[in-house]
Amino acid sequence: MREMAGRPGTWSGLSLRVGQFVFAAASVCATASALGFAAYTAFCYLIASMGLQALWSLGLACLDCYALKFKKDLHSAVLVSLFVVGDWVTAILSFAAACSAAGVVVLFDKDIYACKRDHLLPCGKFELATTFAFFLGHVVPHLPL
């Protein structure tokens, strides 16, 4: 079981956590740089959810670094349960945020043509933030929890 790729306390686990953190942080930055994002609930929820995901992934990446440096074992029942519950909660919140933001982006772009009519609307940044959130969702299933 300890040989499985992506387990906590391994190099593959650390690289997956870093990948999660990078995509979550990129999504937060893209949303925060979009002028007037706070007027839309879906993007407020996206930034909150991605912020939580970034903190969680950063925390676990630090724990992985500590375990690798001092050769600690992170496979106790309590720790693994904590990782499983935390990963499920953050994954569901992130996926819900990405889907609701995608719904709004498609509405603006294809349904009500708000992006063409209102050039001040930062559609490109909203699309970028949503894309990063979905990339993050692509990393999560590789964690063998």
Residues that bind its own copies (CB under 8 A): 39-42, 95-97, 99-104, 106-107, 110-111
With beta carbons less than 8 A apart as the criterion, state whether 32 and 22 touch.
no
The total of other beta-carbon atoms located within 10 Å of residue 73's CB is 10
Closer to its own copies at the Cβ: 52 or 65? 52
Closest separation between CB of residue 48 and its own copies, Å? 14
Residues sharing a CB contact under 8 Å with residue 12, sequence separation 6 or more, in sequence order: 5, 6
Amino acid of residue 111? D
Say which DSSP state 2 is in.
T
Closest separation between CB of residue 141 and its own copies, Å? 10
Closer to its own copies at the Cβ: 64 or 127? 127
Closest separation between CB of residue 17 and its own copies, Å? 23
CA dist., res. 128 & res. 117, Å (int)? 20
Closer to its own copies at the Cβ: 59 or 103? 103
